[in-house]
Amino acid sequence: MLVPNGLRRTRWYRAPNFTDFPKPKGPALMKIGLLGTGNIGRTLARKLPAAGHDLKIANSRGPDTIDADMLGQGARAVTAEEALADVDVAILSIPFNALPKIKHLIDTLPEDVVVIDTSNYYPGRDGKIAEIDAGQIESEWVGEQIGRSVVKAWNAIGCDSFATKAKPKGAPRRIAIPVAGDRKDHREVAIALVEDTGFDGYDAGTLAGSWRQQPAAPAYTTDLTSGEMGPALAAAERDRLPMRRDLTFALVMERLGEGVPPDAEWGLKLSRAINM
């Protein structure tokens, strides 16, 4: 959830311990380019190299502005152009309203490169987008803007849960993350990468149904298991999502305006109360 994804961490959350997931020996599994160093991007920058992948990361301000702690597991800070050169996977973890600005970079990618988008639309933050407000699915709008069909992944988990609640495969109550995309082979790559970050990748089907993992849906930032994810996706009510999304945004902004930054547990409770 992108608004509560900005919730500050609290003292009772431990920092992610990547030694829980030993780094494989041998060659990198995939060559990945990551655009974006925000809440989700920051955690991806640590988890993907820890899983053995060759990761290049970039932001809009240049490689010298990327925090050193994001490079601790072996990621390399580069320019945006360099990040997407010679990669198997491109991950877009930038603000939703900035996606149209990177079309020229996406245009350079070969067709077999998997493009994963982690973003979400909040009109109170991103500005109103008429097509989405009229009912267009977020992922389909993104595809039109960048000229490439995307896989939607890591958008439906809160940043604190993503950073601190990873578990080994098969562990009880392992959180699931829905993954949607039109190409089955690209969806499978994204699911495998979600697994590498410590969560169950749940196949949510094609982009036509990806509205079921948009903000305010039952599957969105509610920390569900794989067994719970299917019923949650099925329970989504499309017409109610915009109102619930905007209500959540307003409540978070109200709390911030009162000078009481909402913590991660408050954000999770809010999501479960409104989305489910």
Domain layout of the chain by residue ranges: 4-275
* pLDDT range class, residue 126, cuts 50, 70, 90: very high
**Residue range 69-93: mean pLDDT, rounded:** 97
Contact 150, 115 (CB under 8 A): yes
User: pLDDT for 11-38, tens place per residue?
Assistant: 223 344 444 454 544 445 899 999 999 9
Instruction: Report the alpha-carbon distance of residue 27 to residue 172 in Å, rounded.
Output: 31
* pLDDT range class, residue 9, cuts 50, 70, 90: very low
Instruction: Report the alpha-carbon distance of residue 3 to residue 261 in Å, rounded.
Output: 12
Query: Residue 232: which residues within 8 A CB-CB, separation 6 or more?
Result: 217, 218, 219, 222, 224, 276
Higher pLDDT, residue 56 or 8: 56
Contact 63, 88 (CB under 8 A): no
For the whole model, what pTM was predicted? 0.90
**Residue range 203-228: mean pLDDT, rounded:** 98
The mean-pLDDT minimum among 11-20, 171-180, 226-235 falls in 11-20
Q: What is the CATH number of domain 4-275?
A: 3.40.50.720
pLDDT at 181 over 80: yes
pLDDT value for 259: 86
**Residue range 110-132: mean pLDDT, rounded:** 97
Contact 160, 217 (CB under 8 A): no
pLDDT value for 28: 59
pLDDT at 93 over 80: yes
Instruction: Report the alpha-carbon distance of residue 270 to residue 75 in Å, rounded.
Output: 34
User: pLDDT for 235-267, tens place per residue?
Assistant: 999 999 999 999 999 999 999 988 888 889 999
